[in-house]
Amino acid sequence: MVTSAKTLGALRDSGWTSKSVKEELRINLIRYMKEGTEVFEGIKGYEKTVLPQIQHALLSKHDFILLGLRGQAKTKMIRLLPRLLDEYIPVIKGSELMDDPFEPISSFGKSLVKELGDDTPIEWIHRTQRFAEKLATPDTSVADLIGDIDPIKAATEKRSLADELVINYGLIPRMNRGIFAINELPDLQPRIQVALLNIMQERDIQIRGFNIRIPLDVLMVFSANPEDYTNRGNIITPLKDRIDSQIITHYPKTIDIGVEITGQEAWANRNGSDTVIPNFIREIVEQVAFEARKSEYVDQKSGVSARMTITAMEQLVSSAERRSIATGEPLSIRICDVYHMVPALTGKLELVYEGEQEGAVSVAKVLIGKAINTIFKKYFPDPQKKKEANKEYQRIVQWFSKGGSVELPDSLKQADYQKRLASVDGLEDLVKKYAKPAKASEAFIFMDFVLDAMHQNSMLGRDDLDDSTTYSDMVGSMLGSIGFDESDTDDFDESRF
């Protein structure tokens, strides 16, 4: 790229040629594809669905809309589009509309070229200056997007209101030769959407009573949530007709992809080093979102954002970090930390009426329990298959039925944590047989995992206090909950139950 040319004449002598922004994007995309360069870096799970469709739209020189529920990386993908622009392009110096020196469209640019000819000064602008976005809000005006007459400018410069130079251009004209994105398009008032019609089809703008047409060279990109069509507004039919491509986004289709996304986005680096998080814990976090996306308590039309698992993972790590600070020991993850994700879930789940009746916290804990149970069956025999369960879990159940219990306070030191779990007969053997942990320390997290999963399958009782969990025999736990005194065992008649 020749960036040394400072005048129109020098630019012409350099051999630089004009091309439209859509042609520019198309050429660079083709080059990147041939080179194997990743344009949408960090976007996971869309390699065979969304990303090819975006490439097709760009190759077709189409304006497009990304349509999907919240937390599906729509804005992130839009913000990666400027990578496809040339690094620098020349513009007429001082132009508000980034005028092409060879084909100016503004009154200022045309007048300057007519007056100075080859001596017209030019400057080179970086691609980061050629992208703008606007969040559609109900108070967005035509003046914000397109422009309006500026009476103060007219008075200051002593110009007639009929002079084109008194126009104060909006965001879209200022992105001439660039990319302009509107997020949450349905939130834009219908009368404002009408103002976009000419830009989308005739590629020009009209302002107030001016008898002028300014042809714009801009890629228009939009994002929208389909639920917004009925909740807050809609996209008017003529505008939908003018958007060339509609691309549907989606949530991760597999746990593994979800784990990749959360691992990439969540802040787990504490004290200068990455936190060691067992993979099954990562799977539990992701499974919570999958459970929520099919839960009868959660409004499925609203969706369950990928941001939920990201913030949940950060809460989980912070729970472990708080224990590490309190005990002075290295940071390590436990099952109790999984339940400390609740505040990250409650604010991101839109509940239906039944869910509201149950309560957001209760629904969140139910989802966590279901996630634990689902992932547990991936590593261990299904406790619901009774013949198999009797063999594999019998020693553990018998240990608890003989009066054994395990209390695991959140702030328990690691040595005591391991000692208490190791005391459960058969627990360590089960973990070694099926989980095959790579490290000894990971074996204890699996042991903790097994106890909670056995509770989820009604094989063990669990009593929860604010900062402690106790596992005990299922029958004993039930009796305790109804006020039964275990010291009265002599008078206890099992036949009554």
Q: Mean pLDDT, consecutive 10-residue segments, the chain of 497 residues? A: 83 94 97 94 95 98 95 96 96 94 92 95 96 92 86 74 75 95 92 89 73 84 76 81 95 96 93 85 97 94 91 96 94 95 93 86 95 96 75 90 95 96 95 89 94 94 91 69 43 35
Q: What is the DSSP string of 146-178?
A: TEEE-HHHHHHHT--TTSGGGEEE-HHHHTTTE
Q: Domain ends where: 205, 224, 248?
A: 248
Domain annotation covers residue 1: no
pLDDT of residue 481: 45
pLDDT of residue 211: 61
Of 426, 420, 425, give the one whose Cα is nearest residue 392.
426
- Tokens representing 102 are 């060879």
Q: Give the whole-angstrom CA distance, residue 317 versus residue 267.
A: 9
Domain annotation covers residue 407: yes
Enumerate the H helices of 328-483 as residue ranges: 335-339, 342-346, 353-358, 360-379, 386-401, 414-422, 427-434, 440-456, 474-481
Contact 314, 267 (CB under 8 A): yes
Collapse the DSSP code of 406 into the 3-class scheme (helix H, G, I; strand E, B; otherwise coil) and give the result. Answer: strand
Q: Does residue 223 share a domain with residue 76? A: yes
Which structural domain, as residue segments, surrounds residue 321?
251-379
Q: Does residue 448 share a domain with residue 369? A: no
CATH number of the domain that 326 lies in? Answer: 1.10.8
Q: Does residue 164 share a domain with residue 32? A: yes
H-helix or E-strand containing 124?
strand 122-126
Strand-pair category, 218-224 with 64-67: parallel
Read off φ and ψ for residue 66, nearest 5 degrees.
Answer: -95, 120
Q: What is the DSSP string of 200-222?
A: HHT-EE--TT----EE--EEEEE
Domain annotation covers residue 422: yes
Q: Does residue 414 share a domain with residue 369? A: no
CATH number of the domain that 91 lies in? Answer: 3.40.50.300
Amino acid in position 136: A
Please give the model's pTM, rounded to 2 decimal places.
0.86
Nearest-10 crossing angle of helices 440-456, 427-434: 110
Collapse the DSSP code of 255 into the 3-class scheme (helix H, G, I; strand E, B; otherwise coil) and give the result. Answer: helix
Strand-pair category, 131-135 with 64-67: unpaired
Amino acid in position 453: A
Contact 335, 410 (CB under 8 A): no
Domain annotation covers residue 326: yes
CA distances from 260 to 36, 45, 255, 257 (A): 21, 9, 9, 5
Q: Does residue 413 share a domain with residue 358? A: no
Domain annotation covers residue 124: yes
Q: Give the whole-angstrom CA distance, residue 330 versus residue 487.
A: 41
Q: Give the whole-angstrom CA distance, residue 72 versus residue 225.
A: 10
Q: Does residue 221 share a domain with residue 78? A: yes
Of 240, 132, 243, 239, give the one whose Cα is nearest residue 195.
239
Q: Give the whole-angstrom CA distance, residue 36 versus residue 20.
A: 24
Q: Does residue 148 share a domain with residue 91? A: yes
Collapse the DSSP code of 472 into the 3-class scheme (helix H, G, I; strand E, B; otherwise coil) and give the result. Answer: strand
Q: Which residue is listed with tokens 């992208």?
A: 131
pLDDT of residue 493: 41
Q: Give the whole-angstrom CA distance, residue 353 versus residue 351.
A: 7
Q: Domain ends where: 248, 283, 303?
A: 248
Q: Give the whole-angstrom CA distance, residue 142 versus residue 145.
A: 5
Q: Does residue 449 share a domain with residue 339? A: no
pLDDT of residue 497: 28
Q: Give the whole-angstrom CA distance, residue 225 versus residue 359.
A: 26
Q: Does residue 32 share a domain with residue 131? A: yes
Structural domain tally of the chain? 3
Q: Give every CB contact of residue 78 below 8 A, 6+ residues apart in sequence.
A: 66, 133, 181, 183, 221, 223
Q: Domain ends where: 317, 344, 379?
A: 379
Q: Does residue 278 share a domain with residue 157? A: no
Domain annotation covers residue 2: no
Domain annotation covers residue 486: yes
Q: Does residue 346 share a domain with residue 272? A: yes
Q: Does residue 207 share a domain with residue 273? A: no
Q: Give the whole-angstrom CA distance, residue 298 versus residue 301.
A: 9
Domain annotation covers residue 3: no
